[in-house]
Structure 1
Amino acid sequence: MKAILLTGFGGPDVLRLSETPTPEPGPGEVRVKVRAIAVARTKDVATRAGRPPFGPLITTFPHILGTEHAGTVDAVGTAVDPALVGRRVAVSAILPCGGCRACRQNHEEACPSLALIGVHRAGSYAEHCVAPAENVHILPDDVGDAEAASLAANGPVARAQLDAGDVRMGTVVLVLGAAGSLGSTVAALAAHRGATVLGVSRRPAALDGLPLTAALDADTLSDQIRDAAGENGIDCVIDNLGITHLTESYLPALAPLGRVVVSGAVEHSPVPVPLLPLYLRGQSIIGVRTGNRYQISALWRDVQHGFRPPASHLQRLPWADTALAHHRVEAGTARGQTVLEVS
């Protein structure tokens, strides 16, 4: 088969289209003929460059990147229903151990041995990819492959964040980095739940097309946030950036019992948090690593009830342009989720 091979750490030019053996599914696995692949900033772009957290785990080259994807099942291993062959599916990348305390409690996201397709084993930058059968979800006919790959990549995490933040009808939620791949999905899913959604970006024009009550400029957030939040303040902040000046802007507007949900820190530096107002107002800061199997299944139920990723923030590129996709994501010029389409 053809695959985009990671030939070594470096810039986007280390990704090379080449030939490699077609994988065969083992017991409990399926093989998917790949049609669309979500490009992830951390799992793909940072790993390609050799950066943490996943870059140091790649020790053998060439390697095939690519985590969440969509396509058609074309082969199954033993102990897998052969009726899956020919079905269009979306594929989750998480590989929990299944036996640790966290896994037994249905919190696979906390599994200390959690692995990923595309990092710990060959991924989906290829014409075929093998995954456990329990990682595939059959797609509705009206969900395209690119949509499905985007949903698989961002939907479970977005759902886990909104659940942790108790976001529901009438909640006021502030989404930092709302123009990005995860942020745009969080904003859309929060609006789908009936929340009042305030989006923040350093490029407010990039928020056009999202279901926002207000689009706020990251550079002048402290001047805008009080008016946007209203007299009761913000019930939940989804912060996947971890930038000090933004944190200092939104914390004073956090409502009593408000929650800050964190799934990223782009600067990798400590953010000072004043603890006195935090406990006096009963507020919480919650870390969400990824979506677990419950969140993954629940996300596809949301899709059955009409949730879709924002079309304005779904960027398609042919997989021949994988290097270009990496360049745009790395440079911060990509809007929303970039998806590679395999013809």
Structure 2
Amino acid sequence: MDDRMMKAVLYDRYGGPDVLYVGRVPRPEPGPGEVLVKVRAFSVNGGELSARSGRLRLLLGRRFPKRVGLDFTGEVAAHGAGVTRFAPGDRVWGVLGRTSGFGSAAEYVTVPEERVGPLPDGLDPVDAAALPVATTAVTALRDKAGLRPGERLLVRGAAGGVGNAAVQLGRAYGAKVTGLARAANLGLVRELGAHEAVDHRSVRPADLGRFDVVLDTVGTDLRAFRGLLNPGGRMVTIAFDLSRPVTSLGYIACSALHGRGRVRFFSGDPRRADLDVLARHVAEGALRPVVDRVFPLEETAAAHRALEAGGVRGKYVVRVAAE
């Protein structure tokens, strides 16, 4: 078999999960400042679903084939000139940057050195693939919201990939955490540290009380949840309403100028320092991976289908290669 080629998950047109297939593409070579990672596992993220379905076609264009996969765990296979922190065989994890796009759903991926961190000792690489997205929760709570001990935190989508990490970290940061999730996942949300877990389908936002920080991972009904903020409260969202993108993004922008409590929107773009913080939280026992199900690489389409169906408990992870 030609070792200059590798397996990767591709799609040749926008559409549902069935457009995904495993094909063969040239194996990348690391350039200056880059590491080549042999991928062990990656997780499926909501942004990939939007990209694959065509909702982001104005940004992504119509050049095919396109790739999927945003985060990864694995081992360094080689590195380019100027790399000093990593050597072949090092166990690592990371997230591709905004300019890199998708592509970790493959046997190998090249990544700038600053996008890679050492995998915490004792952490299985398949389980660990559920965690790089937790850098988004760290940024949301620590940097964007400035969450303080004793404050009331509401996490919307508390059983999902970012949400479950936010529940764990909110508790570790000393907040009183309320998690909104499906009824079937309320036990998990409590287990992860929420002081209160509420079925999002059984209560109106107005009945939830007041909060100092609201972290939204859903993107709908932002006005209603913004109305729950105490004076001086902060709301952070990592999503917007894809059924009404212009209206939703417009509301987020206007919130900075009108009414109580600005809605801060951001898209995660983690670097080494963020991954190091994540590793420290894992080492301290404040954060653990939550894996709903593991799929083989050939069933990446099934993993996308499962995430689209809703109700995920943590993350869907795809195993690329065994250790």
Q: How would you bin the TM-score normalised by the shorter chain? A: 0.7 to 0.9
CA RMSD of aligned residues (A): 2.5
The counterpart of 2:214, out of the listed 237, 257, 272, is: 237
Aligned to 1:260: 235
> Which of 191, 203, 214 in structure 1 is aligned with 2:196?
214
Pairwise CA distance, 1:70: 0.6
User: Within 5 Å, which residues of 2 pair with 1:89-104?
Assistant: 89-94=92-97
Deviates more, 1:54-63 or 1:212-221: 54-63
Amino acid at match of 1:178: A
Q: In 2, are the aligned partners of 1:32 and 1:130 still within 8 Å (CA)?
A: yes
Structure 1 position 251, deviation (Å): 4.2
- SS of the aligned residue for 1:191 comes to helix
Unaligned ranges ≥5, structure 1: 95-113, 227-232
**Whole-angstrom distance in 2 between the partners of 1:224 and 1:217:** 12
Give the match for residue 50 of structure 1: 54
Once the two structures are superposed, the pairs formed by residues 241-252 of structure 1 within 5 Å of their partners are: 241-244=218-221, 247-248=223-224, 250-252=225-227
- What's the secondary structure of 1:147's corresponding residue? helix
Structure 1 pair 195–257 and aligned structure 2 pair: CA distance change class (3 A): same
- CA deviations on 1:182-205 (whole Å, 9 max, x unpaired) are 11111121112222110112x222
Q: 1:334 aligns with which of 309, 312, 319?
A: 312
* Corresponding position of 1:28: 33
Aligned pairs for 1:180-191 within 5 A:
180-191=160-171
Per the alignment, in what secondary structure is the counterpart of residue 316 of structure 2?
A: strand
Match of 1:9 in 2: 14
CA distance in 1, matches of 2:262, 2:309: 33
Equivalent position amino acid for 1:23 in 2: P
Q: Of 107, 129, 135, which aligns to 1:156?
A: 135
1:291/1:60 CA distance change after superposition, 3 Å: closer
Does structure 1 residue 172 correspond to structure 2 residue 152? yes
The one of 285, 292, 295 equivalent to 1:306 is 285
Is this contact kept in 2: 1:155–1:185, CA < 8 A? yes
Q: Distance in 1 between matches of 2:90 and 2:173?
A: 30
8 Å CA contact 1:159, 1:291 repeated in 2 = no
SS in structure 2 at match of 1:298: helix
Do 1:168 and 1:190's aligned partners in 2 also have CA atoms closer than 8 Å?
no
Aligned to 1:286: 264
Partners of 1:310 and 1:127 in 2: CA distance: 22
Instruction: For 2:10 and 2:205, locate their aligned partners in 1 and report how far apart those are by CA, in whole Å.
Output: 45
Give, in angstroms, the shift of residue 147 of structure 1.
3.3
Q: Residue type of the partner of 2:29? A: E
Give the total of aligned pairs. Answer: 303
1:58–1:30 distance in 2 versus 1, CA, 3 Å? farther
- Is the CA contact 1:150–1:309 (under 8 Å) kept in the aligned structure 2? no
Work out whether residues 33 and 83 of structure 2, in 8 Å CA contact, stay in contact via their aligned partners in 1.
yes
Deviations 1:213-255 (A, max 9, x none): 11112231346413xxxxxx311101222322x642x444422
Cα–Cα, structure 1 residues 207 and 115, in superposed 2: closer, same or farther, change >3 Å? farther
Tell me: CA distance 1:259–1:283, structure 2 relative to 1, closer, same or farther (3 Å).
same
Unaligned runs of 5+ in 2: 1-5
Partner AA of 2:278 in structure 1: L
After superposition, give the CA deviation of every residue in 1:125-163 in whole Å (9 maximum; x if it has no partner). Answer: 1111111122110112212213332221x2221011102
Contact residue 130 and residue 315 of structure 2 kept, 8 A: yes
* 1:142 aligned counterpart, secondary structure: coil
* Alpha-carbon contact 1:50-1:56 (below 8 Å) kept: no
- AA aligned to 2:213 is C
Equivalent position SS for 2:89: coil
What percent identity do the matched residue pairs reach?
Answer: 34
What is residue 129 of structure 1 aligned with on the other side? 109
Amino acid at match of 1:116: S
Code of the aligned partner of 2:89: G
State whether residues 263 and 288 of structure 1, in contact with CA within 8 Å, keep that contact through their aligned partners in structure 2.
yes
CA distance in 1, matches of 2:269, 2:175: 21
Contact kept in structure 1, 2:138 and 2:166, CA below 8 Å: yes
**Contact 2:226/2:263, CA 8 A, preserved across alignment:** no
Amino acid at match of 1:335: R
Q: Measure, in 2, the Cα distance between the counterparts of 1:157 and 1:333.
A: 20
Distance 2:118 2:58 in 1: 31
Shift of 1:38: 1.4
Once residues 302 and 207 of structure 1 are traced to their aligned partners in structure 2, the CA distance between those partners, rounded to angstroms, is: 23
